[in-house]
């Protein structure tokens, strides 16, 4: 069986035809990704859901199956950030449920609706600072800093710490090869120590945001400081870049489509379905985290061996005609839209309400302020980021 390739510009530009060929082969096929190598990937919505729900046959932590911890794959990572591999995204079963219960409870105390006025204020302040040049890098000026500020706000971090934190987190956006990834991880080391100081403050009481809410949770008492540091770091990593690229993609799509622009400019329009359709259609996270097959098994008619690697194909599911009519067409009013852009099952995205709110706020405020905004040239090229479908910075002309 030949392995399909997913990181080529041709695939990233128009994945529909290649995904249809994969689906015609089987609900689970071989794909080849840089760093990861050859792995199984699901090609249908039903197979992705079945895989992500099945915590017995498919596990994220390879150690019990292969005897090798996940961190051994990433030997080049500094010690300070290795605990990330035992965190929320890469744990299974009871360990994951325990972590997830604590964060879910803390999230329930911090309403995203309550953050909306601050998010709008932040978006406006960033747009006020757009340079008065012909071409504006809207990714650098808005799409990147706004989600960063949103996570700081969610966690309850002071605005005066943002510049320091940003300098440490921003190399993550440039992780297109091993040296750059190693450098980005090295820069993150100090952030774990920073979170420790915030945890200590929260334990003394009165810390705002999610950090304060977590410290107040009874169930969080079982968690070590390292668990909490890792949790905050995971929120930073999972919640920042994802939203950056949702915004980048959406601005490119709207700037190039007058029907979308008109809809967004209508003050009575509900932009929620448009944001969800962007998530489905672009599927910026093309695949779930890597899982390991825990036992020899037949899955969706395909024989898998204990120790094989497998991922849920989220983009493939989101373009599956058995789930979505005309899946390769962006339909701003698509309803229902049960996409897997936020994943599925026990690890479904924790921050989906925040990500959606950021997109609604930024897109409406940007295009209502600059209704004639267009791209300054053709859409930017693709970044080489394993498993992601994300573009380089978007440069626009604000006044057409």
The answer to whether the beta carbons of residues 85 and 336 sit under 8 Å apart is no
Among 11, 58, 299, 342, binds ligand HEM (CB under 6 A): 342
Rank residues 344 and 398 by Cβ distance to ligand HEM and give the closer one.
344
* Binding residues with ligand HEM: total (CB under 6 A): 27
Between 146 and 264, name the residue whose CB sits nearer to ligand HEM: 146
248's CB contacts (< 8 A; 6+ apart) are 139, 143, 390, 391, 393, 394
Shortest distance, position 351 Cβ to ligand HEM, whole Å: 2
Cα dihedral value 172, 176, 181, 183, nearest 10: -80
Q: Is 375 in the site for ligand HEM (CB under 6 A)?
A: no
Beta-carbon contacts of residue 336 (< 8 Å; ≥ 6 apart): none
Is 110 one of the binding residues for ligand HEM (CB under 6 A)?
no
- Dihedral Cα 381, 24, 346, 229, nearest 10 deg: -30
Tokens of 321: 């005609």
Compare residues 232 and 299 and give the one whose CB is closer to ligand HEM.
232
DSSP 8-state code for residue 380: P
Q: Closest distance between ligand HEM and the C-beta of residue 218, in Å?
A: 20
According to the binding rule CB under 6 A, does residue 238 interact with ligand HEM?
yes
- When the beta carbons of 112 and 398 are compared against ligand HEM, the nearer one is 112
Least distance (Å) from ligand HEM to the CB of residue 377? 26
Q: Please report whether residue 105 would count as binding ligand HEM according to CB under 6 A.
A: no
Minimum distance of ligand HEM from residue 344's CB (angstroms): 7
Tell me which residues in 243-272 interact with ligand HEM (CB under 6 A): 243, 246
Which of 28, 138, 184, 235 touches ligand HEM by CB under 6 A? 235
Q: 37-41, long-range: CB within 8 Å, 24+ apart, which pairs? A: 37/309, 38/3, 38/309, 39/290, 39/308, 39/309, 39/310, 39/311, 40/293, 40/302, 40/304, 40/308, 40/309, 40/310, 40/311, 41/287, 41/310, 41/311, 41/312, 41/313, 41/316
User: Which one of residues 18, 65, 289, 386 is an interface residue with ligand HEM (CB under 6 A)?
Assistant: 289
Residue 36 to residues 5, 70, 205, 219, 310, Cα–Cα distance (Å): 12, 12, 43, 36, 10
From the CB of 132, what's the least distance to ligand HEM, in Å? 30
Residue 156 lies near ligand HEM (rule: CB under 6 A): no
Write out the H or E segment, with its range, that includes residue 193: helix 178-203
Should residue 230 be labelled a site residue for ligand HEM when binding is judged by CB under 6 A?
no
- Of 124-153, binders to ligand HEM (CB under 6 A) are 151
What's 51-81 look like in SS3? HHHCCCCEECCCHHHHCCCHHHHHCCCCHHH
Stretch that binds ligand HEM, among 70-78, 217-225, 233-241, 368-376 (CB under 6 A): 233-241
Instruction: Verify binding: residue 62, ligand HEM, rule CB under 6 A.
Output: no
Nearer to ligand HEM, 70 or 88 (CB): 88
19, 50, 88, 119: residue in contact with ligand HEM (rule CB under 6 A): 88
Q: Which single residue brings its beta carbon nearest to ligand HEM?
A: 351
Q: Rounded to the nearest whole angstrom, what is the least distance from the CB of residue 311 to ligand HEM in the complex?
A: 8
3-class secondary-structure state, position 382: strand
Q: Does 51 bind ligand HEM (CB under 6 A)?
A: no
Closest CA to 321 of 117, 19, 6: 19
CB of 265 to ligand HEM, least distance (A): 23
Q: What interhelical angle do 225-255 and 258-265 show, nearest 10? A: 110
The SS3 assignment for 130 reads coil
Residues that bind ligand HEM (CB under 6 A): 88-89, 100, 151, 154, 234-235, 238-239, 242-243, 246, 279, 284-285, 288-289, 314, 341-343, 347, 349-351, 354-355
């Amino acid at each position: 069986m030949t392995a399909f390739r997913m990181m080529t510009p041709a695939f990233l530009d128009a994945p529909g035809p290649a995904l249809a060929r994969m689906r015609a082969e089987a609900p689970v096929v071989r794909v080849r990704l840089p760093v990861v190598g050859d792995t199984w990937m699901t090609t249908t919505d039903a197979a992705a859901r079945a895989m992500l729900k099945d915590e017995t046959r498919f596990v994220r932590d390879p150690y019990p199956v292969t005897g090798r911890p996940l961190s051994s794959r990433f030997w080049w990572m500094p010690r300070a950030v290795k605990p990330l591999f035992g965190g929320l995204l890469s744990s299974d079963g009871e360990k994951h449920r325990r972590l997830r219960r604590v964060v879910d409870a803390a999230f329930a105390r911090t309403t995203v609706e309550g953050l909306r006025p601050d998010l709008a204020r932040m978006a406006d302040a960033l747009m006020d600072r757009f340079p008065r040049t012909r071409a504006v890098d809207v990714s650098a000026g808005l799409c990147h800093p706004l989600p960063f500020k949103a996570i700081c706000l969610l966690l309850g971090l002071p605005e005066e710490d943002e510049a320091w934190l940003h300098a440490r987190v921003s190399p993550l956006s440039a992780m297109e090869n091993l040296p750059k990834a190693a450098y980005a991880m090295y820069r993150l080391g100090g952030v774990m120590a920073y979170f420790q100081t915030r945890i200590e403050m929260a334990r003394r009481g009165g810390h705002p945001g999610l950090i304060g809410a977590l410290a107040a949770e009874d169930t969080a008492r079982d968690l070590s400081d390292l668990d909490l540091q890792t949790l905050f770091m995971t929120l930073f990593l999972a919640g920042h870049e994802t939203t950056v690229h949702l915004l980048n993609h959406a601005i490119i799509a709207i700037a190039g489509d007058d029907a979308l622009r008109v809809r967004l400019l209508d003050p009575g329009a509900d932009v929620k379905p448009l944001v969800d359709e962007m998530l489905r259609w672009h599927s910026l996270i093309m695949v779930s985290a890597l899982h390991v097959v825990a036992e020899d098994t037949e899955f969706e008619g395909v024989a898998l061996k204990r120790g094989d690697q497998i991922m849920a194909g989220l983009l493939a599911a989101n373009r599956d005609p058995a789930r979505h009519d005309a899946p390769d067409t962006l339909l701003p009013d698509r309803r229902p839209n049960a996409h897997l852009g936020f994943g599925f099952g026990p690890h479904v995205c924790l921050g989906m309400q925040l990500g959606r709110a950021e997109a609604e706020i930024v897109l409406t405020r940007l295009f209502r302020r600059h209704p004639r905004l267009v791209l300054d040239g053709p859409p930017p090229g693709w970044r080489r980021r394993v498993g992601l479908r994300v573009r380089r910075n978007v440069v626009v002309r604000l006044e057409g």
